[in-house]
Amino acid sequence: MRRSELDETDRRLLAELQRDAGEPATALARRLGISASQCARRVKRLESEGYIRRRVALLDGAKLGCGVVVFISVALKSQSDDVARDFEAAVRGHPSVTELYWMNGTYDFLLKFVAADLADFRRFLEETLTRHEGVDHIQSFFAVKEAKYETGVPFQR
């Protein structure tokens, strides 16, 4: 679908939704100075055009028993598309892999792995990462403390 140009109201709406996507449309509309129906139409358009991928609740992993965060760099034996796509398919469906990026540089992939404990990480390492025939080497970085966590995109408002 063709994307339309964003006007100032669209940008303000996106900023408000990034701050709190669960806020009622009536409150958003009031703050933006537009009607609730116009606000709802804009949100629907922004979703259909792909500016808004989805709206979610951000949960506290530590409170839910998922306090172990590991960033994993993976270098593949080959940088061919087939090997990379096969590796991506092998890890992307794992529920503890919350982010997965193809990288440029020393490592081919960067994963964010969130789990209950080190045993979960060890299982993933042994059963998935080290068993994948395309993996050359792995480096893991355990997060000690979350210093900043933002999900928003710093677009120009």
Per-residue pLDDT tens over the stretch 43-72 = 999 999 999 999 998 999 999 999 999 999
**113, exposed or middle or buried, with CB in 10 Å at 0-12, 13-18, 19+?**
buried
Is 147 a member of any domain? no
Is 138 a member of any domain? yes
Domain that holds residue 34: 8-48
pTM for this prediction: 0.86
Q: Are residues 72 and 136 in the same domain?
A: yes
CATH number at residue 15: 1.10.10.10
User: How much is the pLDDT for 79?
Assistant: 87
Question: Would you list the DSSP string of 20-80?
Answer: -TTS-HHHHHHHHTS-HHHHHHHHHHHHHTTS-----PPP-TTTTT--EEEEEEEEES---
User: How much is the pLDDT for 115?
Assistant: 94
Q: Are residues 124 and 79 in the same domain?
A: yes
Q: How many domains does the chain have?
A: 2
User: How much is the pLDDT for 157?
Assistant: 56
Confidence of residue 155 (pLDDT cuts 50, 70, 90): confident
Read off the amino acid at residue 54: R
